[in-house]
Amino acid sequence: MIPNCCDMTLRYFRSMLANQARERGFQVVFWPCKDRDAWLAMGEKARTDQMVSGAVAVLCHAWSSPKYERECVPAWDFYPVLNELMAKQDMIYPHPTLDQLHSEKRYSSSLMAPTRFVHFLRGTNGWKVRGQGDKEITKVVAEELKKLEGQCAAKGLGFTDVMVKQGLSWGGEAVSRLSPEKIPEYMEKKVLSKLPEQAKKITILLQAKVDIVSELRWCTVDGELRSCQWKSLNEPKRGELACDADYQDQYEARELVAKFAKSNLIYLPGTKPRTYTIDELEEAMGPLVKQQYEEVVRDAGGERPIYIRVDLLLTKQGRVWLGERESWGADLNGNDETLKMNPTYKELAVRMLDDVKKRLNKLKRSKLIKATAKKLNVKKNFLKPSAKKQMAAKGKLSNQTKASPSKKASALKNLRFKAGAMAGA
């Protein structure tokens, strides 16, 4: 079965992850979720502690459709269950911090083309823009487009067309190229009105349309560059969806970029404009990928994710912008040819499991230390005499007649021995 959006949800990867987990001493339990009832039942099992605590891999993703199709689950069902699982389990997959941010297209980047984020909320009176009260949607969108036009002018970009990108969508199926004047009505009547009633929030990006030569997809492990491939969607016609334009062939795309880079100046941040061979260009774009990885680390609260794919757009102006950054396996594939994939499915499966085992062992040790400390504290409190007894003991000692130094020493030694014996019992 070909997934809608993510290679790591393949049955092949699921089987490999399970086999590698068993080899590492994990007991593997499958929770198949073919429909809404099964999905929500799993969430209820987690909420009511009917799952053995440990680690969990949820090989699914959220989208804005009401359908349960392949690996995709409606977002309004997906995240409540995912949050229940995260509260009780160590989340192997998807990334607990980055998944929702990336799926909803709410992350920003210094390398992103001029972009306006419009966040919509559905209330009793329909859709409204967050933070804009009852202001008409078309007016808010028109104002955002005006701001975007200013951003484009500042960056030396045209404003003839704008890309409209809806969150919780995959493969360019909710990405459109439109003229600015048509966007306010389009968003209200063609996007928001088509969303299912269950959808209560959605983020839509208004982004500068750049003329793309191709897209360089870099795969990283621990922030280090592994494999790359030139490939992008072709340019959609005005008014059409990006997915309708189909993809470039990777070999034709690389040849196209090689010719372009050899005969045109490329403007990479922090370097002087120059021409490049294809190999030089790929190497020179590497630091931009590492920069994106550090931004991902920031978004993850300082955690350094194992795997990230970064897609960089090379434009006909010779400039480079961020196309997209993918967390975990959306997408894993850095090359259409399996033999050229780096990292491989197996390497990532092993790394994911080894990392979670370290975390679980660390947690187990931490709990053991806390439990031991608690027991010692209880025994200490049990042995500690009350203030009243301390006073009585002092009074008894003061009333004693002349005791020889040897007898006093013997009594104190006996007291220490008894206390030590009880503490060690």
Do 259 and 200 share a domain, yes or no? no
Establish if 375 belongs to a structural domain. no
pLDDT at 414: 34
Residue 410 confidence (pLDDT) above 50 = no
Sheet holding 307-315, edge to edge: 224-230, 212-221, 307-315, 320-327
Is the domain of 286 the same as that of 227? yes
| CATH number of the CATH domain containing 270 | 3.30.470
Q: What is the DSSP code (8-state) at residue 169?
A: -
Cis peptide before 94 (omega within 30 of 0): yes
The mean-pLDDT minimum among 279-283, 340-344, 363-367, 400-404 falls in 400-404
How many of the other CB atoms lie within 10 Å of CB of 208? Answer: 21
Tell me which of 181, 209, 237 is where a domain ends. Answer: 209
Residue 330 pLDDT? 53
Residue 388, pLDDT > 70, answer no
Does a structural domain hold residue 388? Answer: no
Domain-located, residue 214: yes
Domain boundary among 194, 209, 224: 209
- Give pLDDT, residue 364: 80
The answer to whether residues 86 and 130 belong to one domain is: no
Examine residue 371 and state whether it is found in any structural domain, yes or no: no
Range of the domain at 39: 7-94
Q: Is there a contact between 72 and 63 (Cβ–Cβ < 8 Å)? A: yes
Q: What is the mean pLDDT of the chain?
A: 86
- 221 and 196 in one domain? no
Asked if 222 and 204 sit in the same domain, the reply is no
Q: Is the pLDDT of residue 406 over 60?
A: no
Indicate whether 90 belongs to any domain: yes
Residue, of 379 and 121, whose pLDDT is higher: 121
pLDDT, tens digit (0-9, with 9 covering 90-100), for 280-337? 999 999 999 999 999 999 999 999 999 999 999 999 999 999 999 876 555 565 556 6
- Is residue 252 located within the same domain as residue 298? yes
218 — phi, psi (to 5°)? -105, 130
For residue 171, give the nearest of 405, 333, 339, 400 by alpha carbon.
Answer: 333
| Number of domains the chain contains | 3
Per residue in 158-184, pLDDT (tens digit) is: 999 999 999 998 878 899 999 999 999
Mark whether 274 and 237 lie in a shared domain: yes
Q: Please check whether residues 296 and 232 belong to one and the same domain.
A: yes
Q: What pLDDT shows up at residue 234?
A: 83
Strands, E, within 239-369: which ranges?
Answer: 307-315, 320-327
Write the pLDDT tens digit of every residue in 13-49: 899 999 999 999 999 999 989 899 999 999 999 999 9
Residue 404 backbone dihedrals phi, psi, to 5 degrees: -70, 150
What is residue 390's predicted lDDT score, i.e. its pLDDT?
Answer: 56
- Which pTM was predicted? 0.82
Query: pLDDT tens digits, residue range 101-152?
Result: 999 999 999 999 999 999 999 999 999 999 999 999 999 999 999 999 999 9
Q: Are 211 and 321 in contact (CB under 8 A)?
A: no
Same domain, 217 and 322: yes
Boundary (domain end) residue, out of 191, 209, 227:
209
Both 180 and 252 in a single domain? no
The domain that holds 141 is classified in CATH as: 3.30.1490
283 vs 340: CA distance, rounded Å: 18
What percentage of the chain reaches a pLDDT higher than 70?
Answer: 84
Q: What angle do CA 48, 51, 57 make, to 5 degrees?
A: 120
> Nearest-5° angle of CA 414, CA 419, CA 420?
95
Please indicate, yes or no, if residue 121 is contained in any of the structural domains: yes
370 located within any domain: no
Residue 415 within a domain: no
- Same domain? For 228 and 315 the reply is yes
Task: Give the pLDDT confidence score for residue 407 in this predicted structure.
Answer: 44
Predicted local confidence at residue 365, as pLDDT: 80
187 with 254, same domain: the answer is: no
Mode of pairing for the β-strands spanning 212-221 and 126-129: unpaired
